[in-house]
Amino acid sequence: MPTCNRISRRGLIVFASIVPLFGWGLDATTVKAVAASRQTPIVEAVRKVQPSVVSISSERKAASTTRWPFNAEESQRPRVNGMGSGVVVDSRGYILTNHHVVDKVQGIVVRFHDGSVVAGRVLQYDEAMDLAILKVDTERSLTPIAVGSSADLMVGETVITIGNAFGYENTVSAGIVSQLNRNVTLSDEQVYRNLIQTDASINPGNSGGPLVNINGELIGINVAVRAGAQGIGFALPIDDVKASAAEMMSTRRLAGTWHGLIATEKMTPNGTQVYLTDIQSGSGAQSAGFQKGDEIVKVGGFPVSNRLDIERGLLDAKPGKQVEVIVRRDGVEKEIPLEVQPLARSTVSTGERVWRLLGLKTTPVGAEYTAAASDKLRGGLYVQSVLPKSAAARANIARGDILVGLNVGDRHWETIHPDNVIYILKQSESVGATTIQYFIIRQNKIYPGMLELTESLLTNLHR
């Protein structure tokens, strides 16, 4: 007879030793066959995604309140534990999560599905999109998540979340896409646009984790829940996320180099493909002979299915060494060697282009110049002079202002180098736009404004 322990509180019986759980005397082969018969597409998708999902824990100082002395030492303030989730986007240890998960935290700890734990650090963040890139240093190669598209999402289709819900790691839930293009305002400072609404459970701790489709492809980053409601959660659509992630992981940001490839994604019957919409003047891409319309197939051995893959493929590239890029031109694959250039070479010529296009002469400044307006800014472009009757003059930008950001549609970009301005203006989202929103710091306050994109400006931009 099997032995058992009785728990009288709820009348449960727990067997301490019993015939194996999966069957009374069934052999291992039979057990596997029975389990295989229950394997659904959701089970397969979860198995595919789980190695790429991480749990994130951290500490942050509690906010000061009137219950604490105004002159209290920093070490006297209590600490609170934070939790969230993330997804591996590159095998070298790059992890994508929400900015609010790692904002102003200390001691970031990343736990993988297999139970291993590694310290993490914040590399880049995009506060407006509420995204951040973490880096972990590990000797093993990580499993990046398969990135899909949110362009073809259907209301009612099955989606899955995995994350650190309420601290319960690797929690899986499934549901459907409830609606698309939702706008959610949490505060005056945080407005989310174009969100995916889902009834798949999103709880505290799920933030930064994946929303995936039935094929195990990342189609959103979980970001918010509706307080007091059940079955209403929201995720950032992956097509918006990819644009921000590509900027955060750009060679300009992480390696101090530039390549000059301006690309966009297109949905085709064969999946998402990446095409060049422009090549920056004076860049290594221009010297190498890339052309508008080239389809980027591989960069440095990385298969390319989105703009982020271009940056990943060039991230370890060094000036003076060529990286092989495979393009498809007129239906024929062609190998083109590309050499990145130091960013310092581009800032002078790009600064001159900003002057000619917008009438702005600027110089980069660090976070110490912008901290009084916001401690979350990394710097900006100090306006040294404004050309009379220029686009900048018509937009009321003045000498002494600090240009800290540009918005193209729902995309939010920081401007800490002159080449950022040109890069933003050349994005596919800018095509057909007549205005672009800017943000400046004036007298230690942030002010928005609108910059007119005239036909002559756009023509000169692409010369």
2 has pLDDT over 50 = no
Using only the alpha carbons of the chain, give its radius of gyration: 25
For the whole prediction, is pTM greater than 0.85? no
98 has pLDDT over 80 = yes
Contacts 24+ apart (CB under 8 A), 34-38: none
pLDDT of residue 62: 52
370-387 pLDDT, tens digit each? 888 888 888 889 898 898
402 has pLDDT over 80 = yes
Q: What is the dotted CATH code of the domain comprising 347-461?
A: 2.30.42.10
Percent of the chain with pLDDT over 90: 46
pLDDT tier at 344, thresholds 50, 70, 90 = low
Question: Is 207 part of the annotated catalytic residue set?
Answer: yes
314/180 Cα distance (integer angstroms): 34
What percent of the chain is helix, strand and coil (3-state, nearest 5)?
A: 20, 40, 40
pLDDT tier at 369, thresholds 50, 70, 90 = confident
pLDDT of residue 185: 79
Given 3.40.640.10, 3.30.70.141, 2.60.120.10, 2.30.42.10, which CATH number is that of 250-339?
2.30.42.10
pLDDT of residue 86: 96
Q: Which of the following is catalytic: 130, 294, 309, 401? A: 130
Q: Which of the following is catalytic: 100, 259, 412, 417? A: 100
Q: What is the dotted CATH code of the domain comprising 40-63+79-245?
A: 2.40.10.120
Q: Which of the following is catalytic: 149, 207, 283, 346? A: 207
pLDDT of residue 81: 60
43-78 pLDDT, tens digit each? 999 999 999 999 999 876 554 443 323 233 333 434
Question: Is 130 part of the annotated catalytic residue set?
Answer: yes
| CATH 2.30.42.10 location in the chain | 250-339, 347-461
Question: Is 99 part of the annotated catalytic residue set?
Answer: no
| CATH 2.40.10.120 location in the chain | 40-63+79-245
Q: Tell me which of 411 and 353 has the higher pLDDT.
A: 353
pLDDT of residue 420: 86
Pick the closest to residue 429 from 238, 312, 193, 265 (CA basis). 265
Judge whether 205 and 223 are in contact, CB under 8 Å: no
Which has the minimum average pLDDT: 100-114, 192-206, 444-458?
444-458
Q: For the CA atoms of 308, 311, 313, 316, what is the dihedral angle to 10 degrees?
A: -140
pLDDT of residue 444: 85
97/165 Cα distance (integer angstroms): 14
190-238 pLDDT, tens digit each? 778 889 999 998 888 899 999 999 999 999 999 977 766 678 899 999 9
Q: Tell me which of 20 and 301 has the higher pLDDT.
A: 301
